[in-house]
């Protein structure tokens, strides 16, 4: 008798029912991601007036504090936990929150009553922040230059340019300068999506748009420096080679990237965490042996995995994941992704329509999970307050043919206010009847128009052309 063979047969018989049960049981998500509600709540009451914004990029500072960098942000007064007083608020293009672990404090330009962007604009162009570094008590922020153009898509009427460096003193946050990176000789690159210190180098990830067929999408590129981002950059040139010549840079993968993502190193492995591009509510993680990847699609032999799916919510979109590994819980790292809305007005009623969501992520488990977790933006459905008293039409209509703003259904005195996205007020006027306001002198500008009366308030964003 073969003893080993009989023992094997015995265990096969004993394990067979459990194996069959496993194979026939429905697969469920493995909970690799869980809410970090405390971190979301910390941004609900920020000193200095920050109410809502996107980007949500962080940098741990040498003194133990954290800098949070935001893009377009609402600065002002609140009327409730998640609502803003429109007449007492301004939208600026970038802002900072200083987090000392107990208190969150808004940092911006201008004054409390008339706030302006933290990174000053360059003429009519503005900057949206990406990642940052701290070098010799100088905060250096990567900022993408943005030009406003009319794309016929409210909220998305902009054109993305190349990356600049905005330098500030620390502490104090005095603006020193905003300059181009001399190493980046190709203005179609956008570097600074993620900056990672690994070994003897600081690595700077970026993207460049690539067209294949009818699709245009950003591919990942990589540069590195020894000590300072102001020294000449080396660009990854393929096959383990690096070049000081920007024109020799090649992608570090064929996986289309979102505008911001994060590369995290753990146990000798590198993980790239990202939100799917084109505002698709899916979160992915890629894995590689080296920081250079290759960060490829699964179809090209890359190791990528979808670890979470965001449930659609009417009127909301999600984009641009970022990680904040200076915050950890039981080995999980903190991540966030941005939430925005197709209904600009709704932000005044519920700032959660324009605030990031925070989660704890088990990176290694996310890389191998079979069934993605499901994420809900709201625990309960959120209804947007009707600003028009049940009327489907707006009181504010812009006619681009004659450059006039039309005000209609004005049955009682109302106050019209037109301001720039930098907070500057261009017009303030009392309205007592239906009217046409000549706005031709404001052509080429993105403006916020607010109309307030006894019936309520209406706020809209227009590109005057």
Q: How far apart are CA 127 and CA 190, in angstroms?
A: 12
Calculate what percentage of the chain has a pLDDT beyond 70. Answer: 89
- Higher model confidence: residue 82 or residue 344? 82
> What is the model's pLDDT at position 451?
86
- Higher model confidence: residue 464 or residue 94? 94
> What is the model's pLDDT at position 7?
38
Beta strands at 269-275 and 262-266: parallel, antiparallel or unpaired? antiparallel
Instruction: Give the model's confidence band at 92: pLDDT under 50 very low, under 70 low, under 90 confident, else very high.
Output: very high
Instruction: Give the model's confidence band at 132: pLDDT under 50 very low, under 70 low, under 90 confident, else very high.
Output: very high
164 and 181 in contact (C-beta within 8 Å)?
A: yes
> What is the model's pLDDT at position 410?
87
> What is the model's pLDDT at position 281?
95
Say yes or no to pLDDT of 53 above 80. yes
How large is the average pLDDT for residues 341-346? Answer: 83
User: What are the tens digits of pLDDT across the range 369-385?
Assistant: 999 999 999 987 665 54
Closest CA to 56 of 221, 215, 259: 259
Residues 6+ apart with CB under 8 A from 208: 186, 188, 189, 190, 218, 219, 221, 251
Say yes or no to pLDDT of 402 above 70. yes
Instruction: Give the model's confidence band at 345: pLDDT under 50 very low, under 70 low, under 90 confident, else very high.
Output: confident
Structure tokens at 351: 């700032």
> What is the model's pLDDT at position 462?
82
Q: Hey, what domains does the chain have and what are their CATH numbers?
A: 33-375 (2.115.10), 396-464 (2.60.40.3080)
DSSP 27: P
> What is the model's pLDDT at position 212?
86
> What is the model's pLDDT at position 385?
46
Least confident of 109-113, 181-185, 195-199: 109-113
Instruction: Give the model's confidence band at 14: pLDDT under 50 very low, under 70 low, under 90 confident, else very high.
Output: very low
| pTM score above 0.85 | no
How large is the average pLDDT for residues 72-79? Answer: 94
Largest CA distance in the chain: 104
Q: How far apart are CA 446 and CA 462, in angstroms?
A: 6
> What is the model's pLDDT at position 215?
85
Q: Which residues pair with 228 in a beta bridge?
A: none
> What is the model's pLDDT at position 342?
80
How large is the average pLDDT for residues 141-168? Answer: 82
Q: How far apart are CA 304 and CA 368, in angstroms?
A: 9
């Amino acid at each position: 008798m073969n003893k080993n063979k009989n023992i094997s047969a015995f265990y096969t018989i004993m394990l067979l029912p459990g194996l069959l049960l496993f194979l026939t049981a429905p697969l469920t998500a493995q909970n690799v991601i869980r809410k970090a509600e405390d971190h979301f709540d910390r941004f609900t009451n920020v000193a200095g007036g920050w109410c809502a914004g996107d980007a949500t990029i962080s940098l741990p500072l040498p003194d133990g504090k954290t800098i949070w960098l935001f893009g377009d942000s609402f600065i002002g007064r609140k009327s409730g936990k998640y609502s803003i007083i429109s007449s007492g608020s301004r939208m600026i293009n970038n802002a900072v929150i200083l987090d000392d672990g107990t208190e969150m404090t808004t940092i911006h330009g201008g004054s409390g009553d008339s706030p302006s962007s933290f990174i000053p604009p360059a003429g009519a162009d503005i900057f949206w922040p990406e990642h940052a570094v701290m070098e010799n008590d100088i905060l250096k922020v990567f900022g993408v230059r943005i030009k406003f153009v009319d794309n016929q898509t409210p909220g998305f009427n902009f054109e993305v340019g190349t990356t600049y460096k905005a330098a500030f003193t620390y502490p104090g946050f005095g603006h020193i300068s905003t300059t181009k990176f001399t190493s980046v000789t190709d203005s179609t690159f956008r570097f600074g999506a993620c900056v990672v210190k690994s070994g003897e180098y600081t690595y700077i990830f970026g993207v460049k748009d690539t067209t294949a067929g009818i699709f245009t999408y950003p591919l990942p590129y990589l540069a590195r420096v020894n000590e300072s981002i102001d020294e000449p950059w080396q660009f990854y040139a393929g096959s383990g080679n690096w070049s000081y010549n920007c024109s020799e840079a090649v992608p570090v993968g064929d996986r289309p990237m979102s505008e911001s993502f994060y590369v995290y190193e753990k146990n000798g492995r590198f993980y790239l965490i990202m939100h799917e591009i084109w505002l698709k509510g899916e979160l992915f993680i890629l894995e590689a042996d080296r920081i250079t990847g290759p960060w490829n699609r699964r179809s090209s032999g890359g190791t990528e995995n979808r670890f979470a799916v965001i449930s659609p919510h009417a009127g909301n979109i999600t984009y641009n994941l970022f990680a904040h590994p200076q915050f950890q819980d039981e080995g999980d790292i903190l991540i966030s992704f941005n939430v925005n809305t197709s209904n600009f007005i709704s932000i005044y009623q519920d700032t959660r329509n324009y605030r990031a969501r925070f989660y704890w992520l088990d990176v290694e488990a996310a890389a191998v999970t079979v069934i993605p977790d499901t994420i809900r933006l709201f625990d309960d459905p959120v209804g947007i307050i009707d600003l028009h008293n049940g009327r489907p039409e707006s009181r504010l209509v812009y006619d681009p043919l004659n450059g006039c703003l039309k005000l209609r259904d004005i049955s009682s005195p109302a106050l019209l206010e037109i301001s720039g996205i930098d907070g500057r007020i261009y017009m303030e006027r009392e309205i007592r009847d239906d009217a046409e306001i000549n706005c031709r002198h404001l052509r080429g500008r993105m403006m916020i128009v607010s109309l307030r009366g006894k019936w309520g308030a209406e706020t809209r964003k227009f590109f005057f052309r």
